[in-house]
């Protein structure tokens, strides 16, 4: 799964990786939690890629309460068909969540130990996301998102069974387009980063608190 992640975005990384510009100056986010607004790259009505912010936790159009999204921060790739949904944004419900890393929790004897997963080269990850637009009883619209997960790779599996899917650079344009994808093509795009590109290490349990959002969150934990 992906229950928390980091977005230490810079104009250079966003431009180089996704071909988008930062809409405004934003501070680094070291501990993004469910229901918060998260950065997302998508194709807007002008046909260009843009970075915007959506609520993390997918609330479908038929939901009676936005709180349903709390249970839909992740969606398993295995249950997706690749067919377009009626509640997709415009003609496309696919987007990319840019991230520098994510947290996973390992079950222990006394407590769950958090671990941080990031790229060795400092590059951005491209999490695969699905979007829905939820309408409030008053008629306002709120864009919401879920991050697609799949079985963990060999590096992560000893710690946790699931991890976010990522989209390779050569597949970004297809994923972000409104093109219909066959179930086979849809699932072939959803991958995990190779283990040799990643590093994982334990971090302090303070990361369990959403209010903890500093560089200390991703410092390696020193066991005593």
Alpha carbons 39 and 99: distance in angstroms, whole number? 9
30: which residues sit within 8 A by CB, 6+ positions away? Answer: 6, 8, 212, 213, 214, 215, 216, 217, 218
59 pLDDT higher than 90 = no
Q: Residue 133: what pLDDT?
A: 80
**Cα separation, 52 vs 168, whole angstroms:** 21
Structure tokens at 32: 């993004």
Give the integer Cα–Cα distance in Å for 13 and 17: 6
Distance CA 142, CA 192 (A): 29
Cβ(135)–Cβ(61) under 8 Å? Answer: yes
Is the Cβ–Cβ distance between 209 and 224 less than 8 Å? no
**51 - beta bridge partners?**
41
Q: Give residue-wise pLDDT tens across range 177-222.
A: 877 777 788 889 999 999 999 999 999 988 988 778 999 999 998 7
Supply the pTM of this predicted model: 0.91
**Is 167 within 8 Å of 126 (Cβ atoms)?**
yes
Residues 51 and 49: their CA atoms lie apart, in Å, by 7
| pLDDT recorded at residue 71 | 65
- Weakest-pLDDT range from 23-32, 79-88, 146-155, 162-171: 79-88
Residue that wins the pLDDT comparison between 99 and 185: 99
Domains, the chain, in order of start with CATH, read: 4-218 (3.90.1680.10)
State the chain's mean pLDDT as an integer. 86
């Amino acid at each position: 799964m992906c229950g928390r992640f980091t977005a230490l975005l810079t104009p250079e990384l966003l431009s180089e990786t996704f071909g988008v510009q930062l809409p405004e100056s934003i501070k680094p986010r070291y501990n993004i939690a469910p229901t918060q607004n998260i950065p997302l790259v998508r194709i807007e009505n002008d046909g260009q890629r843009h970075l915007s912010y959506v609520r993390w936790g997918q609330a479908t159009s038929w939901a009676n309460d936005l709180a349903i999204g709390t249970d839909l921060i992740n969606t398993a790739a295995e249950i997706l068909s690749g067919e377009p949904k009626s509640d997709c944004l415009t003609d496309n419900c696919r987007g990319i969540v840019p991230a520098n890393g994510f947290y996973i929790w390992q079950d222990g004897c006394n407590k769950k130990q958090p671990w941080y997963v990031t790229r060795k080269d400092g590059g951005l990850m491209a999490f695969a996301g699905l979007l829905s637009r939820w309408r409030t009883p008053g008629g306002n619209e709120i864009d919401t998102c879920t991050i697609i997960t799949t079985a963990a790779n060999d590096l992560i599996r000893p710690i946790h069974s699931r991890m976010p899917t990522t989209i390779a650079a050569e597949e970004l344009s297809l994923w972000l387009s409104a093109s219909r994808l066959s179930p086979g093509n849809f699932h072939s795009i959803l991958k995990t980063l190779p283990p040799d590109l990643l590093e994982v290490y334990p971090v302090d349990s303070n990361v369990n608190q959403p209010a903890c959002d500093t560089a200390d969150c991703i410092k390696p934990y020193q066991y005593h």
